[in-house]
């Protein structure tokens, strides 16, 4: 007879993911044990194995959930009818807001993704590639003439946008929505000024 799923299964799973992300980010994936993860989650080791059979499976679920949701938020932005400048501002703001409260997941993505098997990394890199492509198309629309025959400059500019956003948590950890909106304005102005200077 199949084991029934508890009513709060999804809630507990989400709690495990959040706590495990904190452990992986602060202790490092290699040093984290299932016992430590269970203790941080406030459950028994046997209980955590009910949800995940290994810390590798837990790591993948953290990153797959985080990057898939992030991809859906960013690539789901409705930029129809917006100017290129408005589109850039919208995607920068949405990205910063999506990062809010996800510092640990973000750190795990940066530091531990390579611990996963290649096929899982390929899936996760696909999510990242979707986001990069979406933002790259917006950046290109800012000045098509400058980017049309210069793929390297377009890629460098696009990745510079992500660079400004990805490391925001390092100096502004815990910042709220208003601070993120202010920073979105700054990033947008810096990118627009840089593109005009090309």
Residue 127, in any domain of the structure: yes
From the list 104, 62, 94, the residue with the least C-alpha distance to 161 is 94
Q: 9 lies in a domain? A: no
- pLDDT by residue (tens digit) across 114-153? 999 999 999 999 999 999 999 999 999 999 888 888 899 9
Sequence-distant (≥ 6) Cβ neighbours of residue 100 within 8 angstroms: 175, 176, 177, 180
Question: Does 6 score more than 60 pLDDT?
Answer: no
Mean pLDDT score, 172-178 = 85
Phi/psi for 18 (5° steps) reads -65, -45
What is the structure's pLDDT at 54? Answer: 92
Listed residue (60, 19, 62) closest to 42, CA to CA: 19
> Does residue 20 sit in helix, strand or coil?
helix
The CATH number of residue 161's host domain is 1.10.357.10
Q: Look at residue 2 and tell me whether its pLDDT is greater than 80.
A: no
User: Residue 34 pLDDT more than 60?
Assistant: yes
Assigned domain for 74 exists: yes
In a domain, 7, yes or no: no
**Residue 40: inside a domain:** no
The answer as to whether 39 is a domain residue is: no
Domain span at residue 119 reads 64-196
pLDDT digits (tens, 9 = 90+) for 70-103: 999 999 999 999 999 999 999 999 999 999 999 9
Look at residue 3 and give its three-state secondary structure.
coil
Query: Does 128 map to a domain?
Result: yes
Would you say the C-alpha torsion 117, 123, 127, 133 has a positive or negative sign? positive
Enter the pTM of the model: 0.90
Q: How many domains does the chain have?
A: 1
The verdict on residue 121 lying in a domain is yes
Alpha-carbon distance of 66 to 9, in angstroms, equals: 18
pLDDT at 149: 83
Q: Tens digit of pLDDT for each residue in 154-173?
A: 999 999 999 999 988 888 87
């Amino acid at each position: 007879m199949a084991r029934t799923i508890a009513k709060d299964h999804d809630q507990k799973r989400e709690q495990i993911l959040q706590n495990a992300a904190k452990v992986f980010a602060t202790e490092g994936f290699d040093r984290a044990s299932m016992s430590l993860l269970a203790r941080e989650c406030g459950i028994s080791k046997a209980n955590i194995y009910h949800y995940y059979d290994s810390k590798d499976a837990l790591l993948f679920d953290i990153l797959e959930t985080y990057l898939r949701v992030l991809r859906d938020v960013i690539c789901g932005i409705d930029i129809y009818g917006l100017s290129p400048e408005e589109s850039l501002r919208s995607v920068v703001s949405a990205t910063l807001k999506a990062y809010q409260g996800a510092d640990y997941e973000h750190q795990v993505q940066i530091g531990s993704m390579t611990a996963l098997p290649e096929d899982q990394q390929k899936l996760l890199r696909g999510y990242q590639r979707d986001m990069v492509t979406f933002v790259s198309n917006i950046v290109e629309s800012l000045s098509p003439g400058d980017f049309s025959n210069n793929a390297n400059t377009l890629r460098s500019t696009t990745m510079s946008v992500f660079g400004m956003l990805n490391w925001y948590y390092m100096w502004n950890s815990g910042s709220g929505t208003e601070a993120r909106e202010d920073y979105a304005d700054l990033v947008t102005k810096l990118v627009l000024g840089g593109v005009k200077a090309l």
